[in-house]
């Protein structure tokens, strides 16, 4: 998943090379991912990645002490259905 996210935002890649991972990570089937091929900001992506790498999952999911309603689409490739509560 991390590789697909990195490849989708690679501004040095040709359009076709970035389109497939972009479609997989951010777009549901039948939607046009090509609209996102331009406009990436590598410095912002690097900052987001650094912050994510330095944040423990338990801390990120805890949201401090506030209750959290977390909605995630069923086709989200980051969804971990085995971690959901019913």
Q: How much is the mean pLDDT over the chain? A: 80
Supply the pTM of this predicted model.
Answer: 0.63
Instruction: Please write the tens of the pLDDT for every residue from 17-43.
Output: 888 888 988 898 899 998 888 878 888
Q: What is the pLDDT, as a whole number, of residue 60?
A: 67
Q: Sketch the domain layout of the chain as residue ranges.
A: 2-83
Residue where the block lists tokens 């040709």: 14
The 3 state secondary structure assigned to the chain is CHHHHHHHCCCCCCHHHHHHHHHHHHCCCCCCHHHHCCCCCHHHHHHHHHHHHHCCHHHHHHCCCCCCCCCCCCCCCCCCHHHCCC
Q: What is the pLDDT, as a whole number, of residue 80?
A: 62
Instruction: Please write the tens of the pLDDT for every residue from 42-81.
Output: 888 889 889 988 888 777 666 677 787 878 777 787 766 5
């Amino acid at each position: 998943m991390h590789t697909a996210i990195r490849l989708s935002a690679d501004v040095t890649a040709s359009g076709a090379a970035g389109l497939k991972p972009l479609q997989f990570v951010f777009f549901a089937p039948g939607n046009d991912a090509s609209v996102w091929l331009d406009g990436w900001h590598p410095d912002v992506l690097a900052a987001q990645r650094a912050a994510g790498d330095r944040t423990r999952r338990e801390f990120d999911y805890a949201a401090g002490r506030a209750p959290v309603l977390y909605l995630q689409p069923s086709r989200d490739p980051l969804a971990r259905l085995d971690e959901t509560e019913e």
